[in-house]
Amino acid sequence: MKAASVFLLAATVGTGFLGGIGFLNFIGFGPAMKNTPAEHLVSHWQVLDGYMRVRMPIFGSVILLSLIGSAVLLVKQPYTQPIWFLIIAVLFILADIFVATRYNFSFNRMIQSITPETIPGNFEYLRGRSVLGFSIRSVCMIGAFVSTLTALFLHTARGLQR
């Protein structure tokens, strides 16, 4: 198996996990976050954010590296369609990071600094922004997976035509 195929497979698996998170956000996490009482959400979110804050930078970096590595290794190929879909996937990931920093990180910082007894007055506003951020990010996560999967299919189909 060529290095480009290995990187592309890794990128597809990584973005597939990310797309699954996005799907979970749409069908359950977002609605649950909107409807969970603030006191319960604070306790739950503090634990969840603690895990995600450690793991997502590593997971995200691996995904970006595998996408970029795949694109670089596929540059040698005479057909460019998979590269363009990988570039689209990278743009989706970068948009996800932008939205996370704009909408979600302020909510996460606020959650880490309060207790269920000290919920501030702007909690509902920040919760609403965070839910909106997760909705936008879910589109980006699913888009990154679909783009990467398309690149994999195009790459594989081209290889089978030889």
Which one-letter DSSP state was computed for residue 44? H
Longest dimension (CA), the chain: 66
Q: Which amino acid is at 62?
A: V
Could you report the per-residue pLDDT of 95-132, keeping only the tens digit for each? 999 999 998 998 888 888 999 899 999 999 989 999 99
pTM exceeding 0.85: yes
% of the chain surpassing 70 pLDDT: 97
How confident is the prediction for the chain on average, in pLDDT?
Answer: 91
Whether 162 has a pLDDT exceeding 60, the answer reads no
pLDDT for 27 equals 93
**47 class by beta-carbon count within 10 Å (0-12 exposed, 13-18 middle, 19+ buried):** exposed
